[in-house]
Amino acid sequence: MNRTKLLGLVVGLTLVILFVGGCGGTSITTSVTEAPAGASTSEPSTVTPVPPMTELPSTTANPALGVEIPVKDSNWEVTLKAAHEKSGLRASNGSSYSPKDSYTFLVIDVVFRNLDSAQETEFREDEVAVISMDGESFAAVGNSDFGSSWTATGTTYSLEGTTTFLFTEMKEQQLGLVFTVKKDIIDETFQLKFKDLPPITFTVDSE
């Protein structure tokens, strides 16, 4: 065998030995995925695992407030405009009303709208209730006066027992309704309930 062939054989054997030794018996599998049309395959894509979504705790224990949000059924629509605490109320005859000990007045301004053209715009004061967080119900005990009693010096009220409201030529009316509630719960959340309508959740503005 001449020298050139011998040198080539030695080099070939050396490369085979190096290749086998470098692999070390490890099997290497390459997976090729066809890229979608218009996508670049110049760089391999990296997929970052996304952890499962975790439900976040509520930021408030109270339901959404319903002031200025109308609720209605086929007969009535009611919109709570405002709710105020009052330590005393003026009467139309110049006297005043004061709540009994450990109680305070809660006055709500509500718009009642009659949606049924066949029914009279009529309801009783005791068909409106305020419900506390512990489920105690308070019926309306009075209302704001009408006509000449709405003066520049402020609204006057009447607390003379149950009243029936009848608006013969009107389908919509705003009223101020008076409730007597315990003073130690006035800062809590309440619900306004009228007939079969869904309750309206609200808080009370301090005096």
Indicate which CATH number applies to the domain containing 141: 2.60.40.1240
Is 56 within a domain?
no
Is 93 within a domain?
yes
pLDDT given for residue 150 in this prediction: 44
Is 85 within a domain?
yes
Question: Any idea what DSSP says for residue 199?
Answer: P
pLDDT given for residue 1 in this prediction: 53
- Is pLDDT of 139 > 80? yes
Give the highest mean pLDDT range of 42-51, 63-72, 136-145. Answer: 136-145
- Is pLDDT of 118 > 70? yes
Percent of the chain with pLDDT over 90: 40
Is 166 within a domain?
yes
Average confidence (pLDDT) over 78-86? 94
- Is pLDDT of 72 > 70? yes
Is 179 within a domain?
yes
Domain range for 129 is 71-202
Q: What is the pLDDT of residues 146-187, one digit of tens each?
A: 644 444 456 888 887 667 887 777 788 888 999 999 999 999
Of the two residues 132 and 16, the one the predictor is more confident about is: 132
Other CB atoms closer than 10 Å to residue 60's CB: what's the count?
6
Average confidence (pLDDT) over 12-35? 39
Is 103 within a domain?
yes
Is 152 within a domain?
yes
CB within 8 A of 17, min separation 6: which ones? none
> Are 166 and 122 contacting, i.e. CB atoms less than 8 angstroms apart?
yes
Number of domains in the chain: 1
SS3 string, 43-111, reads CCCCCCCCCCCCCCCCCCCCCCCCCCCCEECCCEEEEEEEEEEECCEEECCCCEECCCCCEEEEEEEEE
> Are 92 and 156 contacting, i.e. CB atoms less than 8 angstroms apart?
yes
pLDDT given for residue 117 in this prediction: 85
Is 17 within a domain?
no
